[in-house]
Amino acid sequence: IATLNGHGPKDFTEHSLVVAAHMVSLARSESFSNELVKEMSERLSDGSAWQVFRSMVAAQGGSLDHIDNPDLLPGSNNSGAVSATEDGYLKRMDALTVGVCSMELGAGRKSKTDPIDYGVGIEVLAKVGDKIQEGQELLHIHANSKDSLDQAMNELESAIQISDQPVPELDLFYQVVE
């Protein structure tokens, strides 16, 4: 919602525009180009991407009230942070650990019959290569029990490595499979 309204993280916005351009190139049976990325950027800027999203939500029976006012979306009863233990550069954040912790909180399923809790999850607030300071929040956890919050915080602390030397950022794309 934030990205479609022009307020999303820069790297996620860039990633989304490139993926959208690839999808449009497939739909139009034309080659991918930077012009398509520019066209997707214009559709984001002029609000038409947001309107398409709204029409998709409505077509699937979703509540436009909730996307127009995200404060109406479910929330959690407990939240906490995993913060940097020292100054340095974020060297590693284990994605598998973050994903499993999200699932354990209820944001995902172990089996297809498990319910999803739409109010829980993990916000990733830093990425590999970022210069960070001791005490800086790296992950924000939303949980519906104190026990699950504590368990996630303990597991996530081990998922983070900090280096005293600069670390290169990870690429947004490694390969396009055609």
Q: Are 155 and 117 in contact (CB under 8 A)?
A: no
Question: What pTM was estimated for this model as a whole?
Answer: 0.86
- Strand stretches in 69-172, DSSP E: 78-83, 88-93, 121-124, 131-132, 137-143, 160-163
Q: How many residues does the chain have?
A: 178
Tokens (6 digits) for 111: 């089996």
How many C-alpha atoms does 125 have within 13 Å on its Cβ side? 17
* pLDDT tens digits along 8-17: 999 999 999 9
* pLDDT tens digits along 118-174: 999 999 999 999 999 999 999 999 999 999 999 999 999 999 999 999 999 999 999
Long-range residue pairs from 37-42, CB within 8 A, at least 24 positions apart, any chain: 41/17
